[in-house]
């Protein structure tokens, strides 16, 4: 699980921008560079250029347009994070697309925001993901969970990694999918918060994901357990 990071004017958040529209890139750069604790270190207008330029600049955050003329920002996110696991990717799109949100989550994106977002909210989103936190709108994520659960025909096959989880880890994963915090999970399963955190760290490693929200997506593919079975174990 990502550790919280802090930034200052002397140690600003280094941001890389990817968007095929020059006006958008300039606008984002002006907006973000106007903040004392944020510095835009580079940009690109294509997926190919981003994959080449971004790693050399070592940014903390990459703001990536989802739709590009030569590919998509989600593929760029996946490629960049394979090279720089600590990079926080903030996906920027004009469309409220559940499929794109799911793909972004599984690619390891830290955030997903619409281009209609207010400037001040985008600045906050950059700070949030830079600190190691997630910036995925809870309402949108909850709607995605409901969609996955209610339409099994469109749900991907159950990943084999789920079969390797212990009964306790499956219980915890199911509760993560229900949106519970570590403290709430501990209360439900009569475990300390630290024990829950340790279980989650091992579970994420088994699932091959790094972020809690990725695990929440996988939780939608678990067979539902009766409430008594979850709480009595």
pLDDT band at 233 (very low <50, low <70, confident <90, very high): very low
When pLDDT is averaged across residues 5-9 and rounded to a whole number, the result is: 81
Distance CA 62, CA 70 (A): 18
Q: What is the mean pLDDT of residues 38-46?
A: 96
Max mean pLDDT among 43-52, 128-137, 149-158, 160-169 falls in 43-52
Q: What is the mean pLDDT of residues 158-170?
A: 78
- pLDDT grade, residue 174 (50/70/90)? confident
Residue found by looking up tokens 């510095």 in the block: 39
Q: What six digits make up the tokens of 191?
A: 């475990």
Of residues 229 and 205, more confidence is placed in: 205
| Per-residue pLDDT tens digits for 91-138 | 988 776 677 777 888 888 888 888 888 999 999 999 999 998 887 655
**Structural domain boundaries of the chain?**
13-136, 144-232
**Domain 144-232: CATH architecture, name and number where available:** Orthogonal Bundle (1.10)
How far apart are alpha carbons 66 and 55 in whole angstroms? 19
Q: pTM above the 0.75 mark?
A: no
| Residue 1, pLDDT score | 43
CATH number, domain 13-136: 3.40.50.2300
Candidates 76, 75, 81; CA nearest to 44 is: 76
């Amino acid at each position: 699980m990502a550790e919280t990071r802090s930034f200052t004017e002397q140690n600003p958040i280094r941001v890389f921008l990817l968007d095929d529209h020059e006006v958008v890139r300039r606008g984002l750069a002006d907006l973000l560079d106007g903040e004392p604790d944020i510095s835009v270190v580079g940009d690109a207008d294509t997926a190919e250029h981003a994959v080449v330029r971004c790693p050399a600049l070592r940014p903390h955050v990459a703001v990536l347009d989802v739709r590009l003329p030569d590919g998509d920002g989600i593929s760029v996110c996946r490629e960049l994070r394979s090279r720089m696991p600590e990079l926080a990717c903030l996906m920027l799109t004009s469309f409220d697309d559940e499929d794109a949100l799911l793909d972004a989550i599984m690619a390891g994106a830290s955030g997903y925001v619409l281009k209609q977002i207010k400037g001040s909210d985008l600045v906050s989103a950059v700070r949030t993901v830079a600190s190691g936190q997630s910036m995925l709108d809870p309402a949108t994520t909850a709607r995605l969970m409901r969609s996955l659960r209610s339409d099994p025909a469109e749900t991907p096959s159950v990943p084999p990694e789920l079969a390797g989880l212990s009964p306790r880890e499956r219980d915890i994963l199911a509760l993560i999918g229900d949106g519970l915090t570590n403290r709430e999970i501990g209360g439900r399963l009569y475990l300390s918060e630290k024990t829950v955190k340790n279980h989650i760290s091992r579970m994420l490693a088994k699932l091959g994901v790094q972020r809690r929200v990725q695990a929440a997506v996988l939780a939608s593919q678990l067979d539902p357990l009766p409430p008594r079975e979850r709480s009595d174990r």
